[in-house]
Structure 1
Amino acid sequence: MAGNEETSSGKQTETAPHTNSPYYIHASDYPKQMHVNENLNDNNYADWSQEMMNFLFAKNKVGFVDKTIPKLVKTSPEYMMWKRCDAMVNGWLTIAMKKEIRNSVKYANAASKIWDDLKERFGKESVPRAYELKQTLQLTHQDGTSISVYYTKLRGL
């Protein structure tokens, strides 16, 4: 885990976090990394959030959005590491959104706030959306396609 070390001159220095630490940032990581198939829009939150969670899990950063790694106070020795990682996650989230959505969350002070805001806005099933899905399902036919193609089409809905 990350912490402070005392140098031979008696100064405290921040040590690099171990690669298993959620505070570890690989040299190839950068905030504008694209990592989902489609940017978040008004119609794809469920798929987008699943892909984003998979990406964050692979990077060991899920805790920054699900709050299992809470925001640290500025006086904490690990605050700057937390802040850097949270800024990285913030960048990953916002680069994967349509500009209109990004503009509505860009002033959030933590990645978890962005995640909560998006979940509140897009994560709820709405009556109009449920009606639209039912109508689409009723109008969907196999139309000579193979069963696997038809099944894939239904699963997509």
Structure 2
Amino acid sequence: MAGDKDSGSGLNNDVTSSPLYMHPSDYPKQMHVNDALTDKNHSDWSQEMLNFIFAKNKVGFINGAIVKPERTIVDYMPWIRCDAMVKGWLTTAMEKEIRNNVKYVGTANGIWVDLAEQFGKESAPRVYELKQS
């Protein structure tokens, strides 16, 4: 349609499609899974959390695909804000004891990896691989 931002490729190329974009309704203390993470439900919890994070276009923060830029790079602060948001989503959806075990982990990816190691990698779902072209 004339005037659309879409160039006919089927892709939305506006700023909201960037993984560094945060919607105004997003906040770190949101609970986005049915049950908080316990020592017995990691597989189900991580699948639900992964689906939520994928829908928010933030999977690169947990699978390590979106690397923390140097402080001098313009994307540094947006990256820090997004990573903090994802860490908030992860830790809010955990029992207190588990949250205390990961609260000093520096990044969302670090928390995700730590949980996979703590609860067994074989029970964790695969993190969506994002291929850059």
Tell me which interval the TM-score lies in, with the shorter structure as reference length. Answer: 0.7 to 0.9
Q: Secondary structure, in 3 states, of the residue corresponding to 1:94?
A: helix
Is 1:85 matched up with 2:82?
yes
**Alignment partner, residue 132 of structure 1:** none
Superposition pairs for residues 46-125 of structure 1, below 5 Å?
A: 46-124=43-121
Q: Once the 2 structures are TM-superposed, how far is the Cα of residue 124 of structure 1 from its aligned partner?
A: 3.8
Distance across 2 between alignment mates of 1:124 and 1:21: 29
| Cα deviation 1:94-150 (Å, max 9, x = unaligned) | 000000000011111111000000000113459xxxxxxxxxxxxxxxxxxxxxxxx
Would you say the 8 A contact 1:41–1:97 is kept in 2? yes
Residue 36 in structure 1 maps to residue 33 in structure 2: yes
Q: Aligned partners of 1:84, 1:124: CA distance in 2, in Å?
A: 28
Structure 1 residue 43: Cα displacement: 0.5
Segments ≥4 residues shifted beyond 3 Å: none
SS at match of 1:55: helix
Indicate the structure whose relative CO is greater, using CA pairs within 8 Å and at least 6 residues apart.
Answer: 2
For 2:70 and 2:122, how far apart are their aligned partners in 1? 36
- Distance in 1 (CA, whole Å) between partners of 2:83 and 2:73 is 15
Distance in 2, Cα, partners of 1:31 & 1:121? 23
Structure 1 position 77, deviation (Å):
1.0
Match of 2:53, SS?
A: helix
TM-score (normalizing by structure 2): 0.79
8 Å Cα contact 1:46/1:123 also seen in 2: no
> What is the match of residue 144 of structure 1?
none
Task: Give the TM-score, by structure 1 length.
Answer: 0.67
Unaligned runs of 5+ residues in structure 2 are: 1-13, 124-133
Equivalent position of 2:22 in the other structure: 25
Give, as a single letter, the amino acid of the residue that structure 2 aligns with 1:76.
Answer: I
Question: Relative to structure 1, is the Cα distance of residues 79 and 44 closer, same or farther in structure 2, using a 3 angstrom cutoff?
Answer: same
Amino acid at match of 1:25: M
- Structure 1 residue 56 displacement after superposition: 0.3
SS class of match (1:29): coil
Structure 1 distance, partners of 2:98, 2:104, is 12
Aligned to 2:3: none
